[in-house]
Amino acid sequence: MEQFTITTPHKTYPVVIGKGLRHQLLELLKKEFSAYVIVTDSQIAPLYLEDVKKALMSKPKVYSYVVPSGEASKDFDTYKRLIDYMVELNLDRQCCVIALGGGVVGDLAGFVAASFLRGVAFVQMPTTLLAHDSSLGGKVGINHDLGKNLIGAFYHPEAVIYDTETLSSLPEKEWRSGLAEVVKHGIIDSKALYDKMRQLLPERQAISVEVMASILKEAMMVKANIVAQDETESGVRKFLNFGHTLGHALEKESGYGALTHGEGVAIGMIFALKLSERVYHHSLPIEEITDWLGRLGLPTSIPKGLDKAKLVQTMKYDKKRTDGQIVFVLLKAIGEPKTQAVPEDLIIEVLEDFHE
């Protein structure tokens, strides 16, 4: 079992990573709650819900709520149904929401916890590789028809309890999706971590579970260090959004769930690299990264059928925008990200080149 602590001005909480931790939930939680609401999705429930319920067996009030698996559940309707469920149970402020799942369950259940009775405790129990990112840092929320994560809050969990055994059932496509955020953490952090990741994660087929578990912790610590410096994204936290300006627009424009989040981020990172070369007039290892992402099974160009004018319109809803300008996280060098407002005509020009 590995553990580290994340400290922000508003909350200090542990991140615990290890095999079989779902069985030890109660001991790891340390605090007592009046009731527990386990939120999970329809694909995870048959695999792990009973184990988590069993871990809470000694508690009198344990409830569970299962949402349909997939990005579409990060919506107003699902949010309302879950809130209705908790209001009808008449739960009090001492209850605890347990998010058992990937980023969809974590973001949705976290936002429910942030808003129910103006905030109750919640615990992240990530079950995807991608959730090495989504389970910590406190960004919780849901999507809007016009853009990703447009409704939400900064609201931290009591703890992140990452049972790496659950990754054994993760579908191949979801492994690849999670790898995109792992690569992102390497690229924004340092040349040393980037090189280490390229060496340890050369291609999807060559990655052992043990290697993945060690890299996963390192990637989480990159995020934890950034969040500790800038909890609510007024500065360096924006770097965690590398690849997301276009990535989120691609997810929305292709219909939530058609592209995985990681696929959107992979394409978005290549686009941000191309923009960086145009803005800073120096060369970056774009071919190397494109080739690496490809070997990890990720797409690196915009899927056919997506209209670039619509992508630009959607990027105008991105939360980083400032003074009416779309803001990207660009790269000066590996380990040297920078936020930058980019003129629309340049975005269109680079998109034009980038289209399949």
Ligand X SMILES: O=C(O)C(=O)C[C@@H](O)[C@H](O)[C@H](O)COP(=O)(O)O
Residue numbers at the binding site for ligand X (CB under 6 A): 133, 137, 139, 148-149, 181, 233, 237, 240-241, 244, 319
Annotated binding site for Zn(2+): 181, 244, 261
Helices 244-253 & 261-280, crossing angle to 10 degrees?
130
Q: What string of DSSP letters covers 258-316?
A: SS-HHHHHHHHHHHHHHHHHHHH-S---HHHHHHHHHHTT---SBPTT--HHHHHHHHT
Only segment of 68-76, 197-205, 288-296, 322-330 that touches ligand NAD (CB under 6 A): 68-76
- 274-303: contacts with ligand NAD (CB under 6 A): none
User: Shortest distance, CB of residue 303 to ligand X, whole angstroms?
Assistant: 19
Site string for ligand NAD, 157-196 (x = CB under 6 A): ---------x--xxx--x--x-------------------
Q: Binding site for NAD(+), residues? A: 69-74, 103-107, 127-128, 139, 148
How would you label 89-127 residue by residue, b for 16+ Cβ within 10 Å and e otherwise? eebeeebbbbbbbbbbbbbbbbbbbbbbeeebbbbbbbb
Give the span between the Cα atoms of 306 and 293, in whole angstroms: 21
CB-CB contact of 158 with 123 (8 Å)? yes
For residues 56 and 152, which CB has a smaller minimum distance to ligand X in the complex?
A: 152
For position 241 contacting ligand NAD by CB under 6 A, the verdict is: no
Residue 62 binds which one of ligand NAD, ligand X, none, with CB within 5 to 8 A depending on kind? none
Compute the distance between CA of residue 312 and CA of residue 309 in angstroms, rounded to an integer. 5
Instruction: Count Cβ atoms below 10 Å from residue 57 Cβ, excluding itself.
Output: 8
Q: Which does 69 bind (CB under 5 to 8 A by kind): ligand X, ligand NAD, none?
A: ligand NAD
List alpha helices for 169-285, DSSP H: 172-189, 191-200, 209-229, 244-253, 261-280
Contact 74, 103 (CB under 8 A): no
241 contact, one of ligand NAD, ligand X, none, CB 5-8 Å limit per kind: ligand X
As annotated, the active-site residues are: 118, 139, 181, 223, 233, 237, 241, 244, 248, 261
Nearest-approach distance from CB 108 to ligand NAD, in angstroms: 9
Which of 2, 26, 47, 150 binds ligand NAD (CB under 6 A)? It is: 47
The contact set with ligand NAD (CB under 6 A) reads 41, 43-44, 47, 69-71, 74, 101-105, 107, 127-128, 130-131, 133-134, 137, 139, 148-149, 166, 169-171, 174, 177, 260-261
